[in-house]
Homo-oligomer: A and B are copies of this chain.
Amino acid sequence: MLACQTTIHSDVVIDVPPETRFEGRSKLEQEEAHRFGDIMLRPGSKPYVFDPLSKKWFLDLPLPSLADNVGDMERVYRELRRKSEYPVMQTGLYNIRRLGRLMRETGWQITATLALRGKTVEVVQFEEGDTSVRNYGVAVDVGTTTIVAQLIDLVSGNTVGTEASYNSQVWFGEDVISRIMYCAEDQGVEELQRYVVSDINTLISALVEGNDIDLADVTYCVAAGNTTMMHLLLGIDPAFIRAEPYIPTANQVPAIRAAEIGMTISGRGLLQCMPGVGAYVGSDVVADILASGLHQDGALSLLIDIGTNGEIVLGNSDWLICCSASAGPSFEGGGMRCGLRATDGAIERVAVTPGGKIVYQTVGGSRAKGICGSGMIDLVAEMFRAGYLEKSGRFRTETEIPGLVDGPDGLEFVVVPGNESATGKPLTISETDIAVFLRSKGAIYTAAEALINHVGVRFEDVERVFIAGGFGYHLDIVNCVTIGLLPDLPLKTFHFLGNGSLAGARMALLSTEVLQSANLVASRITYFDLSTDSMFMNRFTSSLFIPHTDLENFPSVVVSQETPCRT
């Protein structure tokens, strides 16, 4: 029954489920903000000290006199060293030039912003009076398909807001390889850089305007992403990532002035890219690991980052091994006709009722515009359970499937009829869409399986599985297992990280110790190159089924398959 069909006879209290509220997205942010606290205190992992990469110190300086006549800059340094231990401080000429007048015009009351830059601390800016309560940072997850930026209050540690958009570089190719190829064009690197920086700037603008914050108070940015994305963000040619022996130009890039790449935070603010490991194990993986805490945990853990590049980490506090697989943009709504990023109006949950009705929920509760990754997982799993799909992912044409129509690409299933959708056109899923999607899920599963086999353990030995990706908390684990994306393990084994890349970047922003750990973690990770795994292609082919050709690995799915529809 729809709300509009209800007649109100007396006073009522209407309980709107949070996920259907208009502010559903900001709800998600709040959850993530709290989760950061949880991670900091997660049992088994060491809590990190709150020690942001950028700090503002208000300085009420003693007036100079003939007896106390040190230079202005030396007076500032002396005062800063009274407040904190800064062994190596640096200050740019730009700030020194302004200092003398600023100090005298403000009655010797100024605020200095100190930011970590490698093993040194830089005085990035001086301001009039006491602005120490206004200091913000931005954590950015630079995904191949999606970019997410989060504004963090560096004084309280709170998350102020989160914004996401597609990475405009998709115009130049959906995956990292096509982007790298585009870089061979004249000015290709610069062009791709401009696009990604412009995307990030748009997100930052939305964040500061929406929260009434001055850009000049955003003094630090931490970015995480795969190695190619980090190269392109910095304007470094990623050409050599693609050719054997697959060498990035830099894995541990030093902090730079954000303005140097055109990023519009404070003109003197810094940008630190999280450290990466190699050509196909980027800083997003390192951020994931930090967010999960698996590097501090004795228990064997598996981390699966579901994105355009799927990354898998296996390990514990003693060892870490990682591989990556190109999954394509399916999980971020790319590569399929009705695919959509998990944004307002994206179908994020779907079920097929025993009566054959489609029930769905959209992000923000608005009219459906498309289907995002978690929606696709639900849809494929539910259609399979309903008996609409063969193991191969084809429609069971011998069965009566309500909503199956002939479309331009052949048979397609109507998820939302045109009169219900935001676009006025039906939202459908074709056999081609499903085939693309199965390749994506198969790549992820097979990569995880290959890593497990390589190390010589079994999925059953894994005590925790961390799921990272842009899904928020809406991923249905049972459905993930049903389609063969995740291994068939007890439900309690799985832990959602949400966007681990973003969470790790945010943690680094809030704790110098985290950034230092990130460098250690990056240097500890062993890379397992799937292209050297002789079994991989065979196993991948077996994975292009629902859930898999090896059904003995998916005992729970076989059971549920016997029941055509979930009740």
Complex Cα gap A320–B230 (Å): 53
- A253 beta carbon closer than 8 Å to chain B: yes
- A70 beta carbon closer than 8 Å to chain B: yes
Shortest Cβ distance from A228 into chain B, in angstroms? Answer: 13
Mark contacts of A42-86 with chain B using CB atoms, 8 A cut-off: 1 yes-contact digit, 0 otherwise.
000000000000000000000011100111111000000000000
For A97, list chain B residues within 8 Å (CB). 234-237, 249
Q: CB distance A96 to B253 under 8 Å?
A: yes
Shortest Cβ distance from A4 into chain B, in angstroms? Answer: 56
Q: CB distance B240 to A104 under 8 Å?
A: yes
Q: CB distance A249 to B100 under 8 Å?
A: yes
Q: CB distance B251 to A74 under 8 Å?
A: yes
Shortest Cβ distance from A105 into chain B, in angstroms? Answer: 12
Q: CB distance A100 to B64 under 8 Å?
A: no
**Segment among A87-95, A354-362, A491-499 that sits at the interface with chain B:** A87-95
For A66, list chain B residues within 8 Å (CB). 244-246, 529, 532
Complex Cα gap A87–B246 (Å): 28
Shortest Cβ distance from A25 into chain B, in angstroms? Answer: 34
For A237, list chain B residues within 8 Å (CB). 97, 100-101
Q: CB distance B72 to A248 under 8 Å?
A: yes
Q: CB distance B119 to A236 under 8 Å?
A: no
Complex Cα gap A250–B76 (Å): 10
For A118, list chain B residues within 8 Å (CB). 88, 90, 120
Q: CB distance B64 to A250 under 8 Å?
A: no
For A527, list chain B residues within 8 Å (CB). 69
Q: CB distance B74 to A236 under 8 Å?
A: no
Complex Cα gap A65–B532 (Å): 14
For A236, list chain B residues within 8 Å (CB). 93, 96-97, 100
For A249, list chain B residues within 8 Å (CB). 71-73, 96-97, 99-100
Q: CB distance B234 to A69 under 8 Å?
A: no
Q: CB distance A71 to B250 under 8 Å?
A: yes
For A256, list chain B residues within 8 Å (CB). 92-93
Q: CB distance A251 to B70 under 8 Å?
A: yes
Q: Is the interface of A mostly helix, strand, loop or mixed?
A: loop
- A23 beta carbon closer than 8 Å to chain B: no
For A72, list chain B residues within 8 Å (CB). 240, 247-250
Shortest Cβ distance from A233 into chain B, in angstroms? Answer: 11
Complex Cα gap A376–B69 (Å): 37
- A239 beta carbon closer than 8 Å to chain B: yes
- A148 beta carbon closer than 8 Å to chain B: no
Complex Cα gap A456–B472 (Å): 79
Complex Cα gap A189–B368 (Å): 62
Please give me the residue from chain B that is nearest to A63 by CB atom. B245
Neighbour of A252 across the interface among B74, B251, B532, CB < 8 A: B74
Complex Cα gap A153–B242 (Å): 42
Give the most central of A87, A99, A240: most B CB within 10 Å. A240
For A261, list chain B residues within 8 Å (CB). 93
Complex Cα gap A529–B72 (Å): 19
Q: CB distance A90 to B254 under 8 Å?
A: yes
Neighbour of A251 across the interface among B71, B234, B260, B279, CB < 8 A: B71
- A426 beta carbon closer than 8 Å to chain B: no
Give the most central of A92, A104, A248: most B CB within 10 Å. A248
Known: A72-B240, A245-B69. A91 touches B251 (CB 8 A): no
Complex Cα gap A260–B95 (Å): 13
Please give me the residue from chain B that is nearest to A65 by CB atom. B245
Q: CB distance A100 to B245 under 8 Å?
A: no
Shortest Cβ distance from A97 into chain B, in angstroms? Answer: 5
- A278 beta carbon closer than 8 Å to chain B: yes
For A93, list chain B residues within 8 Å (CB). 234-236, 253, 256, 260-261
For A253, list chain B residues within 8 Å (CB). 73, 93, 96
New A-B pairs, 17, CB < 8 Å, besides A93-B236, A100-B236: A64-B247, A66-B245, A66-B529, A69-B278, A69-B279, A71-B250, A72-B249, A87-B119, A88-B88, A92-B254, A92-B256, A96-B234, A97-B234, A97-B235, A97-B249, A100-B239, A120-B120
The 6 A-B pairs with the shortest beta carbon distances in the complex, nearest first, are A73-B250, A100-B249, A71-B251, A88-B119, A71-B248, A72-B249
